[in-house]
Structure 1
Amino acid sequence: MTVLVLGDQLTRRAGPLAARPDERVLMIEARAFAARHAYHPHKRTLVASAMRHFRDALREDGRPVDYHETATFGDGLDAHFDAHPGDDLVVMRPASYGAADRLRDLVETRGGTLRVVENELFCCSPADFDDWYDGGALRHEDFYRYMRRETGVLMEGDEPVGGEWNYDEANRETPPDDYEAPDVPTFDPDATTRSVQDDYADVNAGTWADPEPFGWPVTRADALAALDDFVTHRLPDFGPYEDAMVEGEPMLDHALLSAPLNLGLLGPREVVDAAVEAYDERDDVPIESVEGFVRQVLGWREFVRHAYRVGMPDLADANRLDATRDLPDLYWSGDTDMACLDAAVAGVRQRGYAHHIQRLMVLSNFALLYGVDPHELNRWFHVAFVDGYHWVSTPNTVEMGQYAADLFATKPYAASANYLDRMGDYCDGCPYDPDATVGADACPFNALYWDFPAANEDALRSNHRMGLVYGHLDDKRDAGDLAAIRERATDVRAATDDGESPRTE
């Protein structure tokens, strides 16, 4: 039997690699897979380099590894079965919908067999989630509390450490003007990574993003160093500034561990345990920081994995607001005068990353208000972010960001410039006025924000969480202001469609 290791299952600590320490390993680096979308060059480099480093580490430990660099995944399987006819393969279940069935078909058509076993790179198994869920309402907070109880993380008996389950209210502060966030570690490319960059230079030629500099962790040792650096230097302020947006500080105190987590270089429980241990042993880590981090990893990451699983395949096509507009070119080019959007897109272009509030309340929020087809935005998130996979981006973007599926989101996450100004300082240097809704210099978010409930009134007015919004919308309609607001929104969309900065005369 041979253990098939996929590019996002790079672990020896769990799964069939741990259970079968003496079996041959098969890995396939398929060039066509990396080239089929306009992936960020850092993502291509990250995945291929991590795979090659993982291969080399296995071989150094005496493990036999058949590593095929081929045009397609099928070509890699052809090479394997030519050398090992009728081989039996075992693999952890891929997280993406339908991938296991596609793999089995590829293997069986070549005369082999494929055994798919549980994916152990998550804390909550499908069976445990389904027992909890049982077809009821999908609510993250309920699931999060379930996971805390089941794992004992941040628990004192049956009660949460600190007396509260959730410290989200304490995680909405903005740093002082003189705040300097700790440096985020970068990992200089070694010979293996440089070889990957050379191998994919033609694919990355003319890319929409920046191939250099690359600094993501590509080995287990790098990933552990990144975890240690976060816990040592950035965890203390992570909680309070978790939702803040600061010009010139694209990372602030965020962990930047999602990429190695999603590759398998780190395990979710080990990063949670590292944060909790720091809280237990140090005086500088407040409860709101460790709880906020635990909520993201043990709560949200596990939740969206299973929300994706139970929501597919319908989630992939959901569009309950019938949004059909094309994704504006600014998401690729970064050409916009809106300071918050410019900064978020610039971060993605430069490093394949933006933190979660930029993703939800800037990038997704603008697309929601603009009326973008949610699946166009989903594709962009999938290819543009180094940590983007279909199981990650689809629930986060289609459901949470675009309110498209009626799966777990209870309201659209729509916001005007008021929120953006409160949570960040981009408005200070922006040519648009965050306090104006109409006029040449009015922030485009404002007119779009009020146009959104007006355009989707049939679908949203009955939502009890939208009552206050519709009360204010009615006031604007009664005052005779709504027509001018909607005209401004139309002008914003028309200018953006043309690749121009929104202005009216």
Structure 2
Amino acid sequence: MTTVWVLGDQLTRRGPVSRALDGDADRVLMVESRAFAARHPYHGQKLALVFSAMRHFRDRLREDGVTVRYERADTFREGLDAFFDDHPEESLVAMRPAGGGADALRDLVQDAGGRVEFVANESFLCSPAAFREWDDGGQSHEDFYRWMRRRTGYLMDDGDPLGGEWNYDEQNRETPPDDYEFPDPARFPPDDTTERVLDEVRAEYDAWGAVEVFGWPVTRDDALDALDDFCEHRLADFGTYQDAVVAGEWALNHSLLSPALNLGLLHPAEVIERAIDEYDARADVPLHSLEGFVRQILGWREFMRQVYLREDGLADANQLDHSRDLPDFYWTGDTDMACLRESIAHVREHGYAHHIERLMLQSNFALTFGVDPAELTSWFHAAYVDAYHWVTTPNVVGMGVYGTDAFTTKPYAASANYINRMSDHCAGCPYDPDATTGEDACPFNALYWDFLAEHEDRLRHNYRMAGLYHHVDTKRGDELDAIRERADDVRALADAGDL
């Protein structure tokens, strides 16, 4: 007798669930753990998204004639105990967790008196075994992306990259004109199941952020509609403005598909192929938009998972020895810095902000401020609806705050000059992006130069950073002393809640 165990981020009909649908397994087991959901002050929309998607998946399987045992328990262990009390001879089969951890789950099952077999996770395009065979430890994301392009055939033309180039990122950094109107993304109003979940989240959890504007897809049908909506209305301009930061816009032309992908409601292959079909069918979808979108899914998403599985101790990595607390305004949004105030408002309101807001605003500030990487990682994990350890940890620790150089070659630190170029926030901010010292100077400027000075021994001889230290050299003496004093003042203001 076999039961398929479906974890909360494995809501796919591929893999072991197909056995239940074909009648080759007796039932499906799902466990909704209250203790797991209470580990962090999760965004209310993240909890609602996971629980509602799990319950909709359960209901759809039941409609298809599958017996589903759905346990709402205080802990995974209690849920497993209840199941094995009723089915002591059952064996479980499950897909391997996306971020590892199969041994811990096996121990839980064994402690409950059961057995479990883990099989390949079919929600990704690259298996850990294939990655290990390819990886020599020194290859980059770009190397991986090109390997995956060749391996899958996506955007290839007789062995060469479509259009003659592997990467069109240089065309994906434009600023939209003032009269450009971003299309509203698809929104999926809560049905009765989701409304019940939202009520439970409000009543049972110390959740963070807004829940009343919930509109994420929680079923496969809704996720497919969201994919269609992106391809039809936002893919064409996605690439051109993908790095822009625009006041009053939280979604721009981004796909907003990562929550559905990371839950298993969509498979990366069908997402990529749907975008390619749109490109093939329309003359107004430029290759740089399609390639930029494919690179995010085929390249970066898959690479982050493999790096997470490969690198031991990534969650605790802290090569710069940063130890400062995360400022409270990451939770409250209470800061006069326009760019951070709005990007954090996006997270509070939607559980989401796009990749440049994550990397060059939220992470950049934490990096130059000196925040402990683990603190920032915990915030991202709790705050974002698409956050899971396998994707959040490498992105934050490696890319965001340079806690490891296992796969990144430089810290992504930037001053207000970058932010002013890529966003329109500076025009409406009380801080001056052109000033480095003084009470009205943008905090990013002093923090940036202070960061370079503080870590000169490590970074000066980095081939990607060496040129910056010519500018540090020109500031030595009274100017650099004043800059570093301003950086100390910025940290004190942030700690006091007055920045």
CA distance in 2: counterparts of 1:35 and 1:131, whole angstroms:
38
Partner of 1:55: 58
8 Å Cα contact 1:86/1:111 also seen in 2: no
8 Å Cα contact 1:42/1:214 also seen in 2: yes
Please report how far the alpha carbon of residue 204 of structure 1 lies from its aligned counterpart in structure 2 after TM superposition.
4.0
8 Å Cα contact 2:241/2:253 also seen in 1: yes
Letter of the 1:66 partner, please give it.
Answer: R
Alignment gaps of 5+ in structure 2: none
Partner of 2:260: 260
8 Å Cα contact 1:2/1:90 also seen in 2: yes
Please report how far the alpha carbon of residue 405 of structure 1 lies from its aligned counterpart in structure 2 after TM superposition.
1.4
Matched, 1:197 2:195: no
Task: Please list the CA deviations of residues 288-307 of structure 1 after superposition, one character each: whole Å capped at 9, or x if unmatched.
Answer: 00000000000000000000
Partner of 1:228: 228
Please report how far the alpha carbon of residue 185 of structure 1 lies from its aligned counterpart in structure 2 after TM superposition.
1.0
Partner of 1:214: 214
**Pairing 1:446-485 to 2, within 5 Å after superposition:** 446-477=445-476, 480-485=478-483
SS in 2 for 1:369: helix
Partner of 1:290: 290
**Pairing 1:278-427 to 2, within 5 Å after superposition:** 278-312=278-312, 314-427=313-426
CA distance in 2: counterparts of 1:100 and 1:204, whole angstroms:
27
Please report how far the alpha carbon of residue 2 of structure 1 lies from its aligned counterpart in structure 2 after TM superposition.
0.4
Structure 1's 157 and 461: CA in aligned 2 closer, same or farther, altered over 3 A?
Answer: same
CA distance in 2: counterparts of 1:146 and 1:469, whole angstroms:
32
CA distance in 2: counterparts of 1:34 and 1:102, whole angstroms:
17
Task: Please list the CA deviations of residues 150-190 of structure 1 after superposition, one character each: whole Å capped at 9, or x if unmatched.
Answer: 00000001101111000000000010001110111111000
Structure 1's 275 and 345: CA in aligned 2 closer, same or farther, altered over 3 A?
Answer: same
**Pairing 1:122-271 to 2, within 5 Å after superposition:** 122-133=124-135, 135-204=136-205, 207-271=207-271
Task: Please list the CA deviations of residues 100-139 of structure 1 after superposition, one character each: whole Å capped at 9, or x if unmatched.
Answer: 1111001112221110111010000111111110x33140
Once superposed, which parts of structure 1, at least 4 consecutive aligned residues long, lie more than 6 Å away?
none
8 Å Cα contact 1:138/1:407 also seen in 2: no
Letter of the 1:304 partner, please give it.
Answer: M
Partner of 1:114: 116
Please report how far the alpha carbon of residue 199 of structure 1 lies from its aligned counterpart in structure 2 after TM superposition.
2.0
Letter of the 1:76 partner, please give it.
Answer: G
8 Å Cα contact 1:204/1:211 also seen in 2: no
Matched, 1:81 2:74: no
Please report how far the alpha carbon of residue 197 of structure 1 lies from its aligned counterpart in structure 2 after TM superposition.
1.4
CA distance in 2: counterparts of 1:203 and 1:411, whole angstroms:
43
Letter of the 2:404 partner, please give it.
Answer: A
CA distance in 2: counterparts of 1:155 and 1:244, whole angstroms:
28
SS in 2 for 1:8: coil
CA distance in 2: counterparts of 1:161 and 1:491, whole angstroms:
51
Letter of the 1:443 partner, please give it.
Answer: C
Letter of the 1:39 partner, please give it.
Answer: Y
8 Å Cα contact 2:190/2:215 also seen in 1: yes
CA distance in 2: counterparts of 1:343 and 1:203, whole angstroms:
29
Letter of the 2:491 partner, please give it.
Answer: R
CA distance in 2: counterparts of 1:19 and 1:292, whole angstroms:
36
Q: Percent identity?
A: 63
Letter of the 1:490 partner, please give it.
Answer: D
Deviates more, 1:487-496 or 1:79-88: 79-88
Task: Please list the CA deviations of residues 397-426 of structure 1 after superposition, one character each: whole Å capped at 9, or x if unmatched.
Answer: 001111111211100000100000100100
Please report how far the alpha carbon of residue 96 of structure 1 lies from its aligned counterpart in structure 2 after TM superposition.
2.4
Please report how far the alpha carbon of residue 202 of structure 1 lies from its aligned counterpart in structure 2 after TM superposition.
2.2
CA distance in 2: counterparts of 1:460 and 1:203, whole angstroms:
47
Matched, 1:494 2:495: no
Number of aligned positions between the proteins: 495
Please report how far the alpha carbon of residue 86 of structure 1 lies from its aligned counterpart in structure 2 after TM superposition.
2.8
CA distance in 2: counterparts of 1:438 and 1:251, whole angstroms:
34
Please report how far the alpha carbon of residue 264 of structure 1 lies from its aligned counterpart in structure 2 after TM superposition.
0.2
CA distance in 2: counterparts of 1:115 and 1:138, whole angstroms:
33
8 Å Cα contact 2:187/2:215 also seen in 1: yes
Please report how far the alpha carbon of residue 459 of structure 1 lies from its aligned counterpart in structure 2 after TM superposition.
1.7
SS in 2 for 1:467: coil
CA distance in 1: counterparts of 2:493 and 2:376, whole angstroms:
19
8 Å Cα contact 2:460/2:469 also seen in 1: yes
Task: Please list the CA deviations of residues 323-348 of structure 1 after superposition, one character each: whole Å capped at 9, or x if unmatched.
Answer: 00000000001000001000110000
CA distance in 1: counterparts of 2:204 and 2:86, whole angstroms:
30
SS in 2 for 1:67: strand
8 Å Cα contact 1:3/1:89 also seen in 2: yes
Partner of 1:37: 40
8 Å Cα contact 2:367/2:413 also seen in 1: yes
8 Å Cα contact 1:35/1:203 also seen in 2: no
Please report how far the alpha carbon of residue 19 of structure 1 lies from its aligned counterpart in structure 2 after TM superposition.
4.0
TM-score, normalised to structure 2, is: 0.98
Letter of the 1:146 partner, please give it.
Answer: W
CA distance in 2: counterparts of 1:471 and 1:371, whole angstroms:
23
8 Å Cα contact 1:41/1:210 also seen in 2: yes
TM-score, normalised to structure 1, is: 0.97
SS in 1 for 2:117: strand
SS in 1 for 2:30: strand
